[in-house]
Structure 1
Amino acid sequence: MDWQGAVLKLESSNDALLRLFRQATDDLAALRLPVHGASRSRLVPAAGLPWFVALFGRDSLITSLQTLLVYSDFACGTLDVLGVWQATECDEYRDAEPGKIMHELRLGELARLKLVPHTPYYGTADATPLYLITLHAAWCCTGDHELLNRHLATAKRCLEWIDRYGDRDGDGFQEYATRSSAGLENQSWKDSGDAVVYPDGTLVTGPKALCELQGYVYDAWLRMAQIYDALGDADSATALRKQAAALFTRFNEAFWDEATGFYAFALDGEKKKVLSVASNPGHCLWSGIVPPERAGRVVARLMQPDMWSGWGIRTLSATHPAYNPYSYQSGSVWPHDNGLIAQGFKRYGYAGETGQIMHDVCGAGRFFALDQLPELFGGLNRNSTNFPVQYPGANVPQAWAAGSVFSLLQALLGLQPDAPHRMLYVDPVLPPWLDDITLRDLRVGEQIFDLRFSRAGRTTEFEVVRGDPTSVARREMTVWSDLLKLGADGTGRP
C-alpha cells in the first residue's frame, strides 16, 4: 500500500507544526500491525515501541479515533479485530466478562503457557464504551452504512456489558476492580498502580468509579442512539437517550464539587468523592457530560499553574502530595491526554485555550529527536531556561502520542465530518502563532477535499481548494454537541 498516498497531508508556513505532523504520520506507518480479523488480515495501530507491539483495546481505539480523518482504515480494522476477540464468557483470571472488549493480547511463550492472563487480558473498563464511540465516529467519517450492520451484534453486546458488568453494584455508574490474581489494580487509561490517589496521597482501593468512565458511557449511548436511528430502530434510540439523560443528571449530582468548581477524580468503593485534582475531568469535556454553565470553571481549573505546566496539562496537580513530575501518571504530561482535553475545550467553545494547549505540545515536540513526541514527558514548569524531559521508559514511537497531533488539529479547525449526509463542517480558529494550514487529501466518505485555512486579523477564513464547496460549511462545535444529543431536526435523527 502507498502509505503517503493514502494519508492526510498538511502544509503550513509554521515549520515546527509541519515537522511534527510529518513525523507523526511516519510514526504511525511504523506502527502498522497486521492482525487477522473476521475474514482477512487487517491493519491496526500497535500501541508503541519497544514494549507494546501488540493488539490493544483502549490504545488501538483511541488511536483510531485520533486518525479517522488521516487514515480511516485503522478504525475499520480495529473494529473488526476487536469484535473477533470480544469476550463471550466469565474468566476471572483474564478479567473477562461477556461483551467486554479486550485490553491486551500477547502471543509469546508466557501467554502460550498461561503464565500471564494476556491471552487476551480484558482488564480495561473503558475499551468497551470506546468501541461504540469509534463505531459511530467511523460511520461519520466514512458514510459506510454497512459498517453499522457489520458490527451491530458486537455493539449490542457492548451495551449489555456496560449495563450488567460495567456497573458492578447497580448504582448507575461504571466501576472497575480486578478479579484476577495477576490483574491490573487500575483499569482506566491511568492504569499504573499508584495513579488513583486521595488528596492526602494514599492509594484509593476497592471498586473505583472514575469520572471519565461515566463520560465515555454517556457519549457512547448518545452515539449509539444515532446509529439506531440510522438503522430504523427508534425504540432503542429513545431508550438510550433516556439512559444518557439520566446518567448526565446522576453524574453531575454525584461528582461535582461546588467548593472547588471541579469534578471528583473518582468515587471510591464507599461512594465517597476522591477530590484530588487531576486531568481526568478534561475527558468529561471531551465526552460532553459537563453542563455548559460548568464547562468554563473546569477549563479554568485545568489551566491553573498547578495543572498547566506550559508544556501541556499535567496528569496530577503539582500541589498534590503524590505529585512527581518524573512519574508515569502522577504529574507527568501525556500528549494524547492533552489532545483529548483540547478537543473537549473546543467542544464547549473555548478556542483560545485549545490553541494554547496545541502551542504547548508543539513547543515540546521540537525538543525531542526527529520532532517525535514520546508517550509522556516530565511535568516540569516551563521557563526560559528549561526543556521537556522524556520519561525514561517511554515508548517512542507511540501510537496515541503521534495521534495527539491529529487530535489537536481536529480541535483547532473544528472538523466535524458528516459523510452520511455528504457534508464536512468546520469551526476553525487559528491562534496568533499560526497563520495558515492547508489540508490535502482529506477524505470524508467518497469525497476528497483540499482545504486552506488562514488567519485574517482575529478571524479565520477557509477555502475549498479541491472538492465540492457546497459540501463544506462553517458550524460551531457547540452546535455539533447539541445535535449529538437531539439529532439535526430535534427528533433524535442524526
Structure 2
Amino acid sequence: MSDEAPPIRHGRQPLLNDALVVLQAPTQAWSAADGDVGAAPIHGVFHGDWRYVRALTLRVAGEPVEATGTARDAASAAFHGLARAIDDGTPDPRVLVERVRRVAPGALAEHVAVRNGLEHPVVAEIEVRVEVSIAELSTVKAGLPSPVALSWDGLRAGDGTRSVAIVAPGAEVERQGDAVVARWRLEVPPGGAAEAALELAIDDPSIVVGPAASRRIDELPASGDASLDRWAARAADDLRALLLDAGQGPFAAAGAPWFMTLFGRDSIIAARLLLPLSLELAEGTLRTLAARQGVVVDSATAEQPGKILHEVRQATFTMPGEGIVLPPVYYGTVDATPLWISLLHDAWRAGLPLQAVRELRPALEAALGWMRDHGSPDGSGFLKYVDETGTGLANQGWKDSGDSIRYRDGSIAEGPIALCEVQAQACQAAEGGAALLDAIGADGTEWRAWAEAMRERFRAAFWVERGGERYPAIALDGDGEPVDSKTSNMGQLLGTTLLSPEEEAHVASLLVAPTFASGWGLRTMSDDQGGYWPLSYHCGSVWPHDTGIVIEGMLRAGLVDEARILAAQLVRTADAFDGRLPELFAGLSTEESSSPVAYPASCRPQAWSAAAVVPVHAALTAG
C-alpha cells in the first residue's frame, strides 16, 4: 500500500462573462442578470480574500421575479421585473418589482419595492433567502466546495475570526441550517408601493487592505466621440470603486473578483496611466509600495533588498491543480521595481512636490540598487527571473502564465528568462532615476551610463531576423539565446528610450499590421506564430491595458498615426462591452467575428483595462 497522499482534486475555475458584479473595494457581489445570487459558481458576496454569502434569492408570492431590465453603476444595481403571480393577467404588466442592491465596504443592502398599477390592492408575500458560506477566495477560484464550519449567534454567523450579520427590519425570520429566510407580507394599495429591506454587515479583523478614504479620480474632458465618452465615464466609475488604502494613501486594486488587493505591477501601471486624472493615486501607490519594499534576501518569498512586491494577501494563496502556493506577501515580480521608479519620475513631472520625492529618496535609491545588485543575478546586465521555490510563479513579467514565453515554433522557453520589455522598463527607470537624483541635489551620472549600456546590450542580443522580418525577440532564454516569437511585448519598448527613433518606427509598423492588430485591439502574439491561439491567456488574446501601454509609448515616441489606429480599435471594443473592458478577450479579428468574443474567465472590472481609456483619449484628441 502506498503512503503517498492522494492528489488534490480541484474543480473548474468559475466563468465570469455572464455574471453581473457590483462592488466597492474590498467588497463585491456577483449575481445573475436578474439579481439572484447562487446559480453559478462565481456567485456570492465577497470581502477581501473571503466569500461570505453563497446565495441570495428573492421570491414574490413564491415565484422568481421575471426580469425586464437592469440599470447599474459600479457600486449599485437596480433589477426591474414583474410579479405576475399577483397581477391581473391582462397583457399589460401592472405589478412591478424593483430590487436595488448597493455595496459598500463590508456591507450590502438589498431593497425591494413592489409597485401596484391595478385599481385594487394586492398582497405581496416577499421572501429573501440568504445562504451563508464562508470560504477562502482561492478555493472558490479553484471550484472547490470547501466552506468552513460556522457558529451562529442569532443572525450572525462566523468562523471564529470573521463574521457576517443579517438584519431584516419588519420581517419574520427563520434560520434553516446555514441559511436565513426573511419574509414580509406587504399590502400594496392601488397606485401605490410597499417596500422591504435586508442588510448584510461583514467583519474581518484580519483584512490587510481597507477602503480608500478618498475616491477622487477626475473626469476626462468630452472628446466629441460618444462611444469614447461613454467608456471614459464608465471607466472612472469603476476605478473609483476599485480604490483601496493600506495606511499610506489610495491605490487601485487590480480587479474583480480574484485580485481585490494590492498588486505591485498592476497598481503601478494603473496609477501611471491615470496620472492626468489623479496625482493623489500615484502618490498613494508609491508610498504604499515603498512601505513594503524588500529589505532582506528570502528565497521563500522572493524578497530582495530594494525590490517592490508582487502581491499582498490575508494568508497563503494556493492555486490547486497548478502547483502554485504563494506566501501572504510575495515579491515574485521582475518588473514592479523599475515600474515604481518610473511612476515616481512621471508623477514628479506631473506635479508631485519635490519634497515628496525627497521623502521617497531611500526607496528610490534602494530600487535602483536592486536593478544593479540583484536584478541580474548572472552578471549579464539584463534583468532576469527564475522561481527558486518551485511553487511560485514560473513567469514573473506581466505575462505570468506558465506557458507564455514561447519560441516562434510554439515550444516553451526555459529560464532564467530576460524579457524584452523589462529591459526597456529598466532603461527608462535608470534615466528617470537619474533625473530624480539630479533634482534633489544628488548625482544621476551613474544611472545615465547604466541606461546607455543597457541600450547597447539589448541591440546586440535581442534583435532577430525570422521569416523575412526583423524584430525584437520576446526574451532571452536560460542559455542567453533569443526566444524568437513575435509578441506584443515589443510594443512596450516604445517611448522608453531603449530604441532609436528608427527602431521605434519599425516596431510600430509591425504592430499595426493585421497579424497583430485584430480590429478590436493588439494581439498578445502575432497570429502567424506557432504558439498563437485566439483564446490563449497570453499567446493570442487581446489585453486592453497592453494595447493602452503601447498607445502611450507610441505617443511618447511621436508615432501619433499608429497610436490612433490602435486607439480607434479599443473604442470600438469598449462600445461592444458596454464601456467595461474586461481583463482580456479573444484575439479573433473583425473579419472572423462581428463583435469581440469574451474570454469567459476574464476578470472585470480590471483597473488597468479601465485606465487604458486615458492614452486612447490622448491619441484621439491629439492636435
TM normalised by structure 1 equals 0.79
1:151-166 aligned within 5 A: 151-166=360-375
Which residue pairs with 1:91 in the alignment?
298
What's the offset of the Cα at 1:408? Answer: 2.1
Residue type of the alignment partner of 1:60: S
Q: Sort the Cα spacing of 1:9 and 1:278 in 2 relative to 1 into closer, same or farther, 3 A.
A: closer
Q: Which has the higher strand share?
A: 2
Which letter maps to 2:396?
Q
Residues 358-381 of structure 1, C-alpha deviation per residue, up to 9 Å, x if partnerless? 10001011111x321111111001
Q: Does the aligned pair in 2 maintain the 1:286–1:340 contact within 8 Å? A: no
In the other structure, the counterpart of 2:286 is 79
User: What is aligned with 2:541?
Assistant: 332
Helix, strand or coil at the partner of 2:330: coil
Cα distance in 2 for residues equivalent to 1:71 and 1:396: 21
Displacement after TM superposition at 1:5 (Å): 6.7
Q: What does residue 488 of structure 2 align with?
A: 279
1:70 aligns with 2:277: yes
Give, as a single letter, the amino acid of the residue that structure 1 aligns with 2:451: A
Residue 241 to residue 385, structure 1, CA distance change in 2 (3 Å): closer
Q: What is the match of residue 512 of structure 2?
A: 303
Superposed, 1:172-183 pairs within 5 Å as 172-183=381-392
Cα deviation, 1:180-202, whole Å, max 9, x if unaligned, reads: 23211100000011100011211
1:201 aligns with 2:394: no
In structure 2, the residue matched to 1:244 is 451
Name the CA shift for 1:384/1:213 in 2 (closer, same or farther; >3 Å).
Answer: closer
How far the C-alpha of 1:355 sits from its partner, in A, is 0.7
Partners of 1:348 and 1:81 in 2: CA distance: 31
Q: What amino acid sits opposite 2:332 in the alignment?
A: G
CA deviation after TM superposition for structure 1 residue 29, in Å = 0.8
Bigger Rg, structure 1 or 2? 2
- Structure 2 unaligned blocks of 5 or more: 1-211, 319-323
- Residue 227 of structure 2 corresponds to 16
> Which deviations, in whole Å up to 9, do the C-alpha atoms of 1:196-226 show, x marking residues without a partner?
0011211111201110010000000101111
Query: 1:65-112 CA deviation, whole Å, 9 max, x = no partner?
Result: 01111112111111111111111111111111111100010014759x
TM-aligned CA deviation for residue 144 of structure 1: 0.5
Give the Cα–Cα distance (whole angstroms) in 1 for the partners of residues 401 and 593 of structure 2: 31
CA 110–276 in structure 1, closer or farther in 2 if over 3 Å, else same: closer
Partner secondary structure for residue 261 of structure 1: strand
Q: Would you say the 8 A contact 1:333–1:378 is kept in 2?
A: yes
1:32 and 2:243 matched:
yes
Matched letter for residue 17 of structure 1: L
Provide the residue aligned with 1:222 in structure 2: 431
- CA distance 1:264–1:31, shift in 2 (3 Å): same
Q: Which has the higher contact order (CA 8 A, sep 6+)?
A: 1
Q: Is the 8 A contact 1:332 1:377 kept in 2?
A: yes
* Structure 1 counterpart of 2:79: none
**TM-aligned CA distance change 1:283 to 1:385, over 3 Å:** closer
SS at match of 1:69: coil
Deviation at 1:232, TM superposition (A): 1.4
- Matched-pair identity in %: 38
Q: Which residue of 1 aligns with 2:462?
A: 255
Say whether the 8 Å CA contact 2:316–2:326 is kept in structure 1: no
Q: In 2 relative to 1, CA 110–219 (structure 1 residues): closer, same or farther, beyond 3 Å?
A: closer
Q: Any idea what the Cα deviations from partners look like across 1:363-419, whole Å, max 9, x if unmatched? A: 011111x32111111100113852101211111100000001112224455xxxxxx
CA contact (8 A) 1:51 1:395 kept: yes
Letter in 2 for 1:148: V
Q: Report the Cα offset of residue 260 of structure 1.
A: 2.0
Per-residue deviation at 1:43?
1.4
* Change beyond 3 A, Cα 1:227–1:199: same
Contact 2:509 2:562 in 1 (8 A): no
TM-superposition CA deviations, 1:417-449 (whole Å, max 9, x none)? xxxxxxxxxxx2xxxxxxxxxxxxxxxxxxxxx
Would the aligned equivalents of 1:339 and 1:405 in 2 still touch at CA under 8 Å?
yes
CA distance in structure 2 between the aligned counterparts of 1:260 and 1:335, rounded to whole angstroms = 26
Of stretches 4-13 and 381-390 in structure 1, the one that deviates more from structure 2 is 4-13
> Are the counterparts in 2 of residues 8 and 69 from structure 1 also a CA contact under 8 Å?
no
Decide which moves more: 289-298 or 257-266: 257-266
Specify the alignment match of 1:451 in structure 2. Answer: none
1:354-393 to structure 2, matched below 5 A, reads: 354-368=563-577, 370-383=578-591, 386-393=594-601
Q: Secondary structure at the match of 1:392?
A: coil
Aligned to 2:476: 267
What amino acid is aligned across from residue 61 of structure 1 in structure 2? I
Task: Tell me the matched-pair count.
Answer: 405
Partner of 2:290: helix, strand, or coil?
helix
- The one-letter code matched in structure 1 to 2:226 is D
Written as runs of structure 1 = structure 2, the 5 A alignment for 1:105-144 is 105-108=312-315, 116-144=325-353
Matched, 1:400 2:611: no
Which letter does structure 1 place at the counterpart of 2:388?
A: R
Please tell me whether the aligned partners of residues 288 and 344 of structure 1 are also in contact (alpha carbons under 8 angstroms). Answer: no
Instruction: Encode CA deviations 1:3-39: one digit per residue, 9 max, x unaligned.
Output: 78751332132110110000110110110112123xx
* Cα separation, 2, equivalents of 1:121 and 1:63: 20
Q: Does residue 552 of structure 2 align to residue 350 of structure 1?
A: no
| Contact map agreement 2:213 2:245 (CA 8 A) in 1 | no
Unaligned segments of structure 1, at least 5 residues: 414-427, 429-459, 461-494
3-state secondary structure, aligned to 1:318: coil
SS at match of 1:94: coil
How far apart are the structure 2 equivalents of 1:148 and 1:410? 27
CA 1:9/1:349 → structure 2, altered by over 3 Å: closer, same or farther? closer
Structure 1 pair 138/303, CA: closer, same or farther in 2 (3 Å)?
Answer: same
Structure 1 window deviating more from structure 2 (291-300 vs 124-133): it is 291-300
Work out which of the residue numbers 41, 44, 67 in structure 1 matches 2:251.
44
Distance 1:335 1:168, change over 3 A: same
Say whether residues 1:323 and 2:532 are aligned partners: yes
Q: Distance in 2 between matches of 1:266 and 1:316?
A: 13
CA RMSD of aligned residues (A): 1.8
Q: Is the 8 A contact 1:94 1:120 kept in 2?
A: yes
Partner amino acid, structure 2, of 1:394 = S
Could you say if the C-alpha distance between residues 22 and 266 of structure 1 is closer, same or farther in structure 2, counting changes exceeding 3 Å? same
Contact 1:93 1:117 in 2 (8 A): no
Partner of 2:32: none
| Higher helix proportion | 1
1:57 aligned to which of 259, 264, 274? 264
Aligned to 2:396: 187
SS in structure 2 of the partner of residue 142 of structure 1? coil
